[in-house]
């Protein structure tokens, strides 16, 4: 297994608030990692630092053997780390097809402007194939603003994945999605990403999703990683139970015999 991301002694404060403290994480290629933690624990701050949206106060981040500290997000994306945000970043007044066409044009670095038309037949074929992979082909000509929330999330993640990133970081891919829809949505996302063997780190509040899709958990509490362990181990870790999951979840699961989705 080769290391793709190495984070050393990462710190970040906002005035008196320490949003990241002594974070040390090594990520191997093809890992699927769940980032968990209560509101304000520092999960998004961590993702923001790795993807260049936020500069650490101190510490090191190495991707594929080179430091990415201080690089702008665009450059980090170009190197191979893409991300999605808590709120989908799609062009609301454009069609699903045109959203992806733009994402491909940007990724293929031909520029977006009058001098280089977005559309060409080869690119359109790539867009259509991507639409099928993310199972949103039936929405091809729908305007993004009219999409159901889950479909908009899929479009957003599909757009983040057009470059075939080495690492994809997803900030709460199932937020705002009904319990009934969550597993279907995650199945589509994870199946699509598996095709390219993408290393995935995603932030998630739903422990049933975490248990089903990830093999390793990073648990944050007050800016620190309090547990970095295989999922089954993390779920019974005393710190994780006290500060992240809450005892209620375990009681409910024990009483009902666990998840029907597991």
Ligand X SMILES: Nc1ncnc2c1ncn2[C@@H]1O[C@H](COP(=O)(O)OP(=O)(O)OP(=O)(O)O)[C@@H](O)[C@H]1O
Are 18 and 11 in contact by the 8 Å Cβ rule? The answer is yes
Least distance in angstroms from the C-beta of 55 to ligand X: 11
Least distance in angstroms from the C-beta of 59 to ligand X: 15
Contact region for ligand X (CB under 6 A) — 11-19, 58-66, 95-103, 153-161?
11-19
Are 41 and 222 in contact by the 8 Å Cβ rule? The answer is yes
Q: Binding marks (x or -) toward Mg ion, 38..57, rule CB under 5 A?
A: ------x-------------
Q: Binding marks (x or -) toward ligand X, 17..56, rule CB under 6 A?
A: x-x-----------------x-xxxxxxx-----------
The CA-to-CA distance between both ends of the chain, in Å, stands at: 27
Q: Which does residue 37 bind out of ligand X, Mg ion, none, counting CB within 5 to 8 angstroms by kind?
A: ligand X
Contact region for ligand X (CB under 6 A) — 13-21, 139-147, 232-240, 246-254?
13-21
Q: Which does residue 119 bind out of Mg ion, ligand X, none, counting CB within 5 to 8 angstroms by kind?
A: none
Least distance in angstroms from the C-beta of 54 to ligand X: 7
Write down the H helix ranges in 60-107.
73-79, 96-107
Least distance in angstroms from the C-beta of 37 to Mg ion: 9
Q: Which residues pair with 168 in a beta bridge?
A: 82, 200
Give whichever of 44 and 198 is closer to ligand X, judged by the CB atom: 44
Give whichever of 54 and 103 is closer to Mg ion, judged by the CB atom: 54
List own/partner pairs for 98-101 with CB under 8 A and 24 or more apart: 99/144, 99/155, 99/159, 100/127, 100/130, 100/131, 100/155, 100/158, 100/159, 100/162, 101/127
Least distance in angstroms from the C-beta of 206 to ligand X: 12
CA dihedral 105, 106, 111, 112 (to 10 degrees): 70
Q: What are φ and ψ of residue 220, in 5° steps?
A: -105, 145
Angle among Cα 166, 230, 59 to the nearest 5 degrees reads: 55
Are 81 and 63 in contact by the 8 Å Cβ rule? The answer is yes
Count of residues touching ligand X (by CB under 6 A): 11
Are 131 and 46 in contact by the 8 Å Cβ rule? The answer is no
Least distance in angstroms from the C-beta of 210 to Mg ion: 15
Are 224 and 214 in contact by the 8 Å Cβ rule? The answer is no
Q: Binding marks (x or -) toward ligand X, 93..132, rule CB under 6 A?
A: ----------------------------------------
Q: Which does residue 14 bind out of ligand X, Mg ion, none, counting CB within 5 to 8 angstroms by kind?
A: ligand X
Query: Taking CB under 5 A as the rule, does residue 99 contact Mg ion?
Result: no
Q: Which does residue 19 bind out of ligand X, Mg ion, none, counting CB within 5 to 8 angstroms by kind?
A: ligand X
Tokens 């599909």, residue located: 158
The residues binding ligand X (CB under 6 A) are 14, 17, 19, 37, 39-45
């Amino acid at each position: 297994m080769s290391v793709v991301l190495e984070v050393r002694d990462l710190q970040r404060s906002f005035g008196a608030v320490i949003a990241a403290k002594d974070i040390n994480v090594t990520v191997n290629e093809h890992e699927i990692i769940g980032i968990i933690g209560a509101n304000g624990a520092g999960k998004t701050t961590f993702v923001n630092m790795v993807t260049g949206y936020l500069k650490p106060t101190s510490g090191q981040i190495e991707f594929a053997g080179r430091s990415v500290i201080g690089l702008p997000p665009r450059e980090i994306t170009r190197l191979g780390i893409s991300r999605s945000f808590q709120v989908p970043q799609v062009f609301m007044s454009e069609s699903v097809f045109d959203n992806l066409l733009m994402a491909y044009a940007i990724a293929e670095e031909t520029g977006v402007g009058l001098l280089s038309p977005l559309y060409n037949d080869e690119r359109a074929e790539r867009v259509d194939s991507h639409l099928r992979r993310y199972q949103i082909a039936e929405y091809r000509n729908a305007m993004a603003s009219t999409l159901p929330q889950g479909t908009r999330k899929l479009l957003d993640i599909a757009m983040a994945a057009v470059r075939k990133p080495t690492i994809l970081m997803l900030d709460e891919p199932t937020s705002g999605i009904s319990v009934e829809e969550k597993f279907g949505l995650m199945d589509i996302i994870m199946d699509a990403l598996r095709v390219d063997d993408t290393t995935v780190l995603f932030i998630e509040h739903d422990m049933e999703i975490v248990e089903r899709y990830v093999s390793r958990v990073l648990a944050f509490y007050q800016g620190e990683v309090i547990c970095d362990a295989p999922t089954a181990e993390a779920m019974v870790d005393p710190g994780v139970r006290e500060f992240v999951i809450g005892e209620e979840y375990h009681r409910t699961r024990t009483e009902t015999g666990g998840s029907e989705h597991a």
